[in-house]
Amino acid sequence: MSTDIRAAFISLEQLRWSQFLTVTGGGGVSNYSVAPFLWVVFFKVDRDSLFGECVFTPGDHRDLGVSDVEPGSIISIPDLLGAASLSLAPIELFNGKVVSPTFGVVAVLMRDGGHVTAHGISAGHDALNFGVRGVIEGLANISISQGSPVTDQQIASAVMTSNLAQKVTDAVRNAQSFWENLWAWSGADSEIDHAICTWSMDEFANPSETKSISMQFRQSQWSSWTIDGSVTVVDACPASSSATTLDRALAQLAAERGSKSRRQEHVLSPLT
């Protein structure tokens, strides 16, 4: 495997709601609306981030720019929320073995219940970010110790045992007053579902390759959501080249895709 740096551009472009059947008490069929919002964390494990790095995005009740959505709707995901670029440097171990970088995205689709405060949801979003960062750090240790990229099964197991949903719930509750929690109880936010997409750099051909993204969120037996997007990895520059070359390659890639995304920093930023 080459030790050259490559560049990944991940774009979550649209959210679709498919509802197959809703039965009312009288036996009729009707639709209803919800106010969805989305939390997204991008991540990587490579030579420059042996303990994992995350790209944290905004997350609040209106981060999708919509308030009431009906089945069949297609929502454009804002670039600030759904697009990120990452440099990928193969991991060179002491025994001379080279491990392919692992990178991906975690997305949590939520439903606004109407009564959770802005500071409550902000605390919950921070708790998710901290929780995902802990998961990624653990996966980075696994990747280094086993000398190979982490598997989807290892990632799924790490997320399952991290209890992220409870951490978010506790953070929201602790950030709110007694009366705010009492009010929120009658209109609490809820998770529709979460999804994870991961890739290894060696899954992509040289000098560039694009793969489609389809993240599935199951709301019920008769209702589901889908995020469509793409991920592209380009042979950006040799390991000795500067970050400017990488920036230029990513900018050219974004222009070719017709995207208006602004590049986000691929660092583990402090949470606020």
How far is residue 58's CA from residue 81's CA, in Å, rounded to a whole number? 6
106 and 131 Cβ atoms separated by less than 8 Å: no
Confidence of residue 80 (pLDDT cuts 50, 70, 90): very high
**Strands laid side by side in the 190-200 sheet:** 53-56, 36-45, 102-111, 190-200
Q: Are 132 and 53 in contact, with CB atoms under 8 Å apart?
A: no
Please provide the average confidence, as pLDDT, over all residues in the chain: 80
Quick one: pLDDT at residue 108? 93
Going by pLDDT thresholds of 50, 70 and 90, the confidence category of residue 263 is very low
For residue 272, pLDDT over 50 is answered with: no
What tokens appear for 83 in the block?
């697009």
Sequence-separated (6 or more) residues with CB below 8 Å from residue 258 = none
How far apart are alpha carbons 47 and 44 in whole angstroms?
10
For the chain, give the percent of residues with pLDDT over 70.
Answer: 81
Residue 108's closest CA among 221, 238, 20, 227? 227
> What count of Cα atoms within 13 Å lies in the side-chain half-sphere of residue 115?
12
Q: Is residue 223 classed exposed, middle or buried when 0-12, 13-18 and 19+ CB atoms within 10 A define those classes?
A: middle
pLDDT of residue 268: 33
232: part of which helix (H) or strand (E)? strand 223-237
Q: Quick check: helix, strand or coil at residue 213?
A: strand
Report domain extents, the chain.
Answer: 5-256
Which pLDDT tens digit goes with each residue over 112-155? Answer: 877 888 898 899 899 999 999 999 888 888 877 877 787 778 88
**Residue 241 has what pLDDT?**
43
What is the band of 261 on the pLDDT scale with cuts at 50, 70, 90? very low
Q: Rounded to two decimals, what is the model's pTM?
A: 0.81
Secondary structure (3-state) at 254: helix
- Residue 22, pLDDT > 90, answer no
3 state SS of 189: coil
Distance between CA 136 and CA 104 in Å, rounded? 10
pLDDT over 70 (residue 269): no
Q: How far is CA 207 from the centre of its chain?
A: 25
Torsion of CA 53, 153, 216, 160, to 10 degrees: -80
pLDDT value for 96: 75
Say whether pLDDT at 76 is over 50. Answer: yes
Residue-wise pLDDT for 184-239, tens only, equals 777 778 888 999 999 999 899 878 899 999 999 987 777 889 999 999 999 865 44
DSSP letter for 48, please.
T
Whether residue 32 has pLDDT greater than 90: no
The span from the CA of 250 to the CA of 39, in Å, is 24
Residue type, 58: P
- Among candidates 236, 214, 223, which has minimal Cα distance to 105? 214
Amino acid 15: pLDDT = 95
pLDDT at position 227, please?
A: 96
Rounded CA-CA distance 112/20 in Å is 22
